[in-house]
């Protein structure tokens, strides 16, 4: 069993980033709510604990507390922001509202040599309204900032530490090294979490779950479902039956591309099911996003249930659910954050479905999924293609979904993708600067059809037609994202082509909102 670091979530929207940074240090981590059952957490035999940030104040009634089994474990601990305050409060220190709150960039100075933070001054990212006023017994101050005389603390003997800032975000340049030092040097966890080890452990879990039973795989053509299908196929071979459902919500030529990729590139038998009529009927006159997702999830499952009856009624269904799906849908066993939206494959599934889900990627981040895909030998065009949401164009066609509006959206999206490809900007070639210069490529880019009409002029005639919004982002993990600084001439060319070639559109806009506050998809 690989060494594990447990991250306890106290309600921060960035708790999952802590887990991801630990995995970047090649140490496995899992995220649990702070009040998860002790037996569930201890079953992993953790090497140490990280306590996340959160929106509460430790002195507020009912505020989350550090569990007793964690305090009694004797294992190393790292409290981040609220986690530091909760640790201080639990061990007898004092936390109080800060006279001057800190939100945003700050600079800390290391004042005590320690195994966690390197000497000198360095920039960090603060986000807190409370601060430590009295350290717990046995702790010393490790670093300070202008507004936080106790910006970091530690008990070197018990290997318990606290950081008032956020090392998990990129705005703290030295933060990853702090996390690496904690998990590898202080917790002494073995850094063996690699794509190869992920594959091996996944194969063992899949075989243990399904035994000799036959399994259906829900193939969408996206990165996640392709990697999940390949991983299950590696584990059980011909026990797997791959099924591709054409919902009518696909990108242009998607069906042909999927059939070609799975047949020629992966050597799997693929059954294609036409469910366009059923999906369109189910979505008729539906405009509310959450209802769309639930309807798509249920219709999708019912289609697979009907297909299962034709191939021997398999009990298991493979899905390409990944960790951001789980977090944004607020799966109760893994997150204390607010539900952002119900992903059709997490919270949108019918309770009475006949399948037991096989989700080998459920707690992997997108970059880990791609790395596993490469290690499995999947073609680059599958591993590195643009992400596509499970509900398909339904969540990019805002308002009413009709075949005509989908055709409009599909054509506009194809133009945007084609022009990005010609410009060599369909993939990130180096990390975004976030300063508007030097960004190369996009992590995700697509068109959105808005249920908004605007007045225009074409051929001296008044038009009153719909609006296409273009969305392109740069990101490393899809939990946070920045809008891509695409060249103006490229955007102009895309807009001109859409106006001239796509019926029913007379205006094109570009979305320049980051995540947060927005999500990458519009619905």
User: Active-site residues: which are they?
Assistant: 81, 166, 168
Closest by alpha carbon to 344, among 255, 274, 247?
Answer: 247
User: Which residues contact residue 426 at a Cβ distance below 8 angstroms, ignoring those fewer than 6 apart?
Assistant: 386, 417, 420, 441, 442, 445
CB 62 within 8 A of CB 42: no
What does the alpha-carbon distance between residue 41 and residue 506 come to, in Å, rounded to a whole number?
Answer: 55
Half-sphere exposure of 342 (CA within 13 A, CB side): 16
What does the alpha-carbon distance between residue 359 and residue 181 come to, in Å, rounded to a whole number?
Answer: 32
What does the alpha-carbon distance between residue 86 and residue 512 come to, in Å, rounded to a whole number?
Answer: 37
CB 324 within 8 A of CB 364: no
What does the alpha-carbon distance between residue 153 and residue 89 come to, in Å, rounded to a whole number?
Answer: 13
CA angle, 40 then 42 then 48, to 5°? 130
CB 322 within 8 A of CB 372: no
CB 153 within 8 A of CB 113: no
The two three-digit tokens of residue 495, written as one number: 């807009």
CB 334 within 8 A of CB 326: yes
The two three-digit tokens of residue 238, written as one number: 């011909």
The two three-digit tokens of residue 186, written as one number: 């202080």
Find residue 131's DSSP bridge partners: 96
Closest by alpha carbon to 346, among 331, 366, 336?
Answer: 331
CB 417 within 8 A of CB 463: no
CA angle, 18 then 24 then 26, to 5°? 115
């Amino acid at each position: 069993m690989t060494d594990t670091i447990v991250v306890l979530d106290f309600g921060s929207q960035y708790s999952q980033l802590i887990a991801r940074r630990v995995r970047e240090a090649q140490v496995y981590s899992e995220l649990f709510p702070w009040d998860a059952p002790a037996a569930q957490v201890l079953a992993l035999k953790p090497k140490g604990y990280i306590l996340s940030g959160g929106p509460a104040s430790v002195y507020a009634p009912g505020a989350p507390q550090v569990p007793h089994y964690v305090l009694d474990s004797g294992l190393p601990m790292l409290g981040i922001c609220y986690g530091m305050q909760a640790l201080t409060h639990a061990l007898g220190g004092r936390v109080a509202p800060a006279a001057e709150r800190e939100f945003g960039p700050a600079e800390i100075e290391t004042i005590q040599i320690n195994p966690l933070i390197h000497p000198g001054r360095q920039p960090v990212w603060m986000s807190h309204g409370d601060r430590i006023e009295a350290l717990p017994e046995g702790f010393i101050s490790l670093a300070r900032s202008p507004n936080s005389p106790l910006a970091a603390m530690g008990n070197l003997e018990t290997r318990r530490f606290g950081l008032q800032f956020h090392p998990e975000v990129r705005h703290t340049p030295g933060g990853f090294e702090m996390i690496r030092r904690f998990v590898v040097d202080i917790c002494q966890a073995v850094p063996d979490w690699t794509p190869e080890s992920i594959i091996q452990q996944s194969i063992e879990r899949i075989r243990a779950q399904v035994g000799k039973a036959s399994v259906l795989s829900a193939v969408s053509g996206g990165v996640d479902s392709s990697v999940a299908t390949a991983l299950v196929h590696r584990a059980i071979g011909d026990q797997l039956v791959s099924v591709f459902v054409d919902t009518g919500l696909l990108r242009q030529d998607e069906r042909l591309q999927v059939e070609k990729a799975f047949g020629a590139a992966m050597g799997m038998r693929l059954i294609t099911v036409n469910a366009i009529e059923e999906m369109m009927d189910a979505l008729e006159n539906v405009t509310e996003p959450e209802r769309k997702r639930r309807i798509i999830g249920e219709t999708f499952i019912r289609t697979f249930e009907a297909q299962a009856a034709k191939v021997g009624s398999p009990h298991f269904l493979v899905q390409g659910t990944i960790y951001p799906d789980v977090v944004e849908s607020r799966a109760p066993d893994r997150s204390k954050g607010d539900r952002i939206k119900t992903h059709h494959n997490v919270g949108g599934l019918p309770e009475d479905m006949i399948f037991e889900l096989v989700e080998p990627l459920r707690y992997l981040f997108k970059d880990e999924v791609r790395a596993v895909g490469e290690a499995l030998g999947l073609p680059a065009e599958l591993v590195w293609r643009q992400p596509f949401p499970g509900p398909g164009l339904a969540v990019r066609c805002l308002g009413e979904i009709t075949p005509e509006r989908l055709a409009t959206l599909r054509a506009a999206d194809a133009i945007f993708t084609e022009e990005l490809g010609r410009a060599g900007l369909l993939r990130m070639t180096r990390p975004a600067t976030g300063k508007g210069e030097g960004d190369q490529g996009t992590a995700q880019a697509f068109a959105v059809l808005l249920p908004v009409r605007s007045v225009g002029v074409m051929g001296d005639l008044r038009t009153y037609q719909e609006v296409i919004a273009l969305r392109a982002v740069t990101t490393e993990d899809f939990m946070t994202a920045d809008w891509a600084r695409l060249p103006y001439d490229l955007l102009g060319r895309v807009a001109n082509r859409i106006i001239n070639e796509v019926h029913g559109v007379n205006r094109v806009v570009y979305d320049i909102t980051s995540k947060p506050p927005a999500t990458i998809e519009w619905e």
